[in-house]
Structure 1
Amino acid sequence: MKHYNIPVFISHFGCPNSCVFCNQKKINGRETDVTAEDVVEIIEEYLESLPKESIKEVAFFGGTFTGISKSLQEEYLKTVKVYMDRGLIDGIRMSTRPDYISRDILEMLVKYKVTTIELGVQSMDTEVLRLSGRGYEPSEVYRASELIKEYGIQLGIQLMPGLPGSTYVTDLNSARQVLDINPDMVRIYPTLVISGTAMEGMYRAGRFEPMTLEEAVERIVPIYAIFEVAGINIIRVGLQPSDDLREDGVIIAGPFHPAFRELVEARIYGDFLERFQDEEEIIVEAHEKNISKITGIKKVNKVRFGRKLIIRIDRGLSLREVRINGKVYTRLDILGGVIHESDNN
């Protein structure tokens, strides 16, 4: 059954933290700009268009949900519970910080049947966390993750490769540490310089240089591979191209692409095909749904290998298989090659 999120974006005007990548406004006397009535309106609007036979979660994103006052958290949760009691909504998910998780908070969330908590971890490197203004140590991530699992709530972790002080190695090591935590799902967001953030000031002063699009793809490919091989659900790679992001002047710099995941997939297949570079032809046969991934956006792999690359549809192959010059390789074969290469870097 298909899953749908009903997104409710809650700003946290009272957030005391100063993360360099965040442009949350600080408005005295106000916690947020979303009322319980707004939540009802959003849910009703989505329920009109979403298929009845589907899994629906209300997703509180955009701020630190468990950082707002407990009374307001409960007001939101009670609003959604009405729909859950009527069988119209199947669950609640939210994003928050690792240092805003406690037993008291989790007991309340369990009471209202919260199904998923996504932690904005961003990095597991102490120095990167410090330079990014996160205000906690990696140990806080382990503590919060263990508690969330203990209470039977699904755990998601969000990573931001390319933060100040990060490198290919620190970002890959962060992913490996997250692998040890074994979350149910991950999101991977390459760092962008957003207008109105401290990072914008760092960038304009020459104190921070974001990754290029090419660098971001190269850095995220092995991270993507180790999570997929481990069976962890990668629910997003790259920021969703919302209307806000597309407005002029919102993204100041950084590796934004509306189809970032497709860039990563094409690189994974392209790098694997390099081992056949010395052969006269590279004949690739795959399920029709994989052809665009192998070809790549703007036919990047056709350009990379030229006329020697021949790609054909074979409906007899599964989505997890590809035949190259007569030999069948599994998805794990291909991803394993990526991981092996990253171990040598």
Structure 2
Amino acid sequence: MKKKINIVPVFVPHYGCPNDCIFCNQRKITNYEKSIDMDSVRNYIDNYISYFNNNDVKREIAFYGGSFTGIKREDMISYLKIANEYIDKGMIDSIRLSTRPDYIDDEILTILKKYKVETIELGVQSMNDEVLIANNRGHNSQAVICASNLIHEYDFKLGLQMMIGLYKDDEKTAFKTAKKFIEMKPDIVRIYPTLVIEDTYLETLYKLNKYTPLDINKAVKIIKPIYALFKVNDIDVSRIGLQPTENINEEGSVVAGPFHAAFRQLVEQELYREALEKYLSIYKNIDEIFIEVPNSQMSYIVGNKAENKKYLKNRFNISKISFKAINGDKIYITINNDKKIELDIKEFYREYLLEKEV
């Protein structure tokens, strides 16, 4: 079962990134336009930590936005020294950062190891070289492989971030990226549907009708087998969809694309609905079912606005469906107060991938 982590997200100014990808406007995404002084960083961290109540939960400072290892070396070290102050005081347990694959080398990793960084996330987006070129990424897929191998050699945890719906990308290419991620053995992955953000070249392409963004239903359809693939391979999917901010929301800087504040729920609830439907379809005359669910999965099983519950009642003509939150990570279904079965979600994911022939 996934362990909870309290994250202190520190957004690094965009000047660490050497080029602008066509989909990117980090000033809009991070909501920071200017550099910030180190005292402001300390005040921000202090304020954020003050909201953490449970001392037993791991606490982590995460440097996001731009490319952390691409900023001026003295600035990067200053940020790391501040994070280490909190580690030395016992207020923070670990550090993570995000950066570009082509901004990883032995010298950088030696510095990051010295300053107790635990996790390095690479903004990969795609493992297809044509897609990378079309989106002006400035590196190729081999750079990702080299950086990932080096990160493993230095014994950091590896995170990989991918996007779906990129310019010149498609469903099959996105799934191939996920399969190549598996080969690189990441500890965590993030999946981001492409959004059209104000003041980007992608917005220009969109307005010229040269780029068509995914809608939410299509994005969910593409992500489901990718998510299943990662889960079958015991890789933690730490996030699906961009975190809503002052700018990244339906009334903010998102011009078009599949934005949803709870994208992960859309994906997981559909997969759980399909799993429950598959398991229940072998039984006849179901009058009542009782489902025991880990508390962390309850909203996904029941569905937004109880959509899954309503669907199953109608699909199988069930008079009563009830749920109970339990400890652990297993899901049990009791049918008509008699037959109790375990829903093996990992096995369902395997079968799901075989049926999809992906």
* TM-score, reference length from structure 1: 0.90
Question: Amino acid of the residue matched to residue 7 of structure 1?
Answer: P
Q: Which deviates further from its counterpart, 112-121 or 240-249?
A: 240-249
Counterpart mapping for 1:134-145 below 5 A: 134-145=137-148
Would the aligned equivalents of 1:84 and 1:91 in 2 still touch at CA under 8 Å? yes
Q: Give the equivalent residue in structure 1 for 2:160.
A: 157
Q: Give the equivalent residue in structure 2 for 1:296.
A: 303
- Structure 1 residues 126, 79: closer, same or farther in 2, change over 3 A? same
Q: Give the equivalent residue in structure 2 for 1:312.
A: 322
Question: Amino acid of the residue matched to residue 185 of structure 2?
Answer: N
Q: Distance in 2 between matches of 1:171 and 1:34?
A: 36
Q: Among residues 259, 263, 282, which one is paired with 1:260 in the alignment?
A: 263
Q: Distance in 1 between matches of 2:92 and 2:204?
A: 42
Would the aligned equivalents of 2:16 and 2:66 in 1 still touch at CA under 8 Å? no
Counterpart mapping for 1:1-345 below 5 A: 2-13=4-15, 15-24=17-26, 33-51=35-53, 52-246=55-249, 248-275=251-278, 284-288=289-293, 289=295, 290-302=297-309, 304-305=311-312, 306=314, 308=316, 310=318, 311-313=321-323, 319-323=329-333, 326=339, 327-343=341-357
Would the aligned equivalents of 1:120 and 1:158 in 2 still touch at CA under 8 Å? yes
Cα RMSD after superposing both structures: 2.5
How far off is 1:64 after superposition?
A: 0.4
- Structure 1 residues 82, 316: closer, same or farther in 2, change over 3 A? closer
Q: Distance in 2 between matches of 1:317 and 1:76?
A: 39
- Structure 1 residues 292, 249: closer, same or farther in 2, change over 3 A? closer
How far off is 1:266 after superposition?
A: 1.4
Q: Distance in 2 between matches of 1:324 and 1:192?
A: 42
How many residue pairs were aligned?
Answer: 340
Would the aligned equivalents of 1:287 and 1:318 in 2 still touch at CA under 8 Å? no
How far off is 1:38 after superposition?
A: 1.7
In structure 1, stretches of 5+ residues that fail to align are none
Q: Which deviates further from its counterpart, 210-219 or 80-89?
A: 80-89
Q: Which deviates further from its counterpart, 313-322 or 293-302?
A: 313-322
How far off is 1:145 after superposition?
A: 0.5
Please list the CA deviations of residues 180-238 of structure 1 after superposition, one character each: whole Å capped at 9, or x if unmatched. 11111111111111111111111111111111100011100111111112111111111
Q: Which deviates further from its counterpart, 259-268 or 14-23?
A: 14-23
Question: Amino acid of the residue matched to residue 301 of structure 1?
Answer: N
* TM-score, reference length from structure 2: 0.87
- Structure 1 residues 168, 322: closer, same or farther in 2, change over 3 A? farther
State the secondary structure of the residue aligned to 1:160.
strand
Q: Distance in 1 between matches of 2:46 and 2:329?
A: 37
Q: Distance in 2 between matches of 1:160 and 1:270?
A: 25
Would the aligned equivalents of 1:98 and 1:141 in 2 still touch at CA under 8 Å? yes
Please list the CA deviations of residues 41-93 of structure 1 after superposition, one character each: whole Å capped at 9, or x if unmatched. 11111232223333211111011000111111111111222222222221211
Question: Amino acid of the residue matched to residue 25 of structure 2?
Answer: N
State the secondary structure of the residue aligned to 2:50.
helix
State the secondary structure of the residue aligned to 2:333.
strand
How far off is 1:291 after superposition?
A: 4.6
Q: Distance in 1 between matches of 2:229 and 2:289?
A: 24
In structure 2, stretches of 5+ residues that fail to align are none
How far off is 1:297 after superposition?
A: 1.5
Would the aligned equivalents of 2:269 and 2:300 in 1 still touch at CA under 8 Å? yes
Would the aligned equivalents of 1:162 and 1:190 in 2 still touch at CA under 8 Å? yes
State the secondary structure of the residue aligned to 1:206.
coil
How far off is 1:267 after superposition?
A: 1.1
Percent identity over the alignment? 41
State the secondary structure of the residue aligned to 2:247.
helix
- Structure 1 residues 267, 25: closer, same or farther in 2, change over 3 A? closer
Question: Amino acid of the residue matched to residue 85 of structure 2?
Answer: V
State the secondary structure of the residue aligned to 2:244.
coil
Would the aligned equivalents of 2:246 and 2:252 in 1 still touch at CA under 8 Å? no
Q: Distance in 1 between matches of 2:248 and 2:181?
A: 28
Q: Distance in 1 between matches of 2:56 and 2:76?
A: 29
Would the aligned equivalents of 1:96 and 1:117 in 2 still touch at CA under 8 Å? yes
- Structure 1 residues 165, 324: closer, same or farther in 2, change over 3 A? farther
- Structure 1 residues 272, 144: closer, same or farther in 2, change over 3 A? same
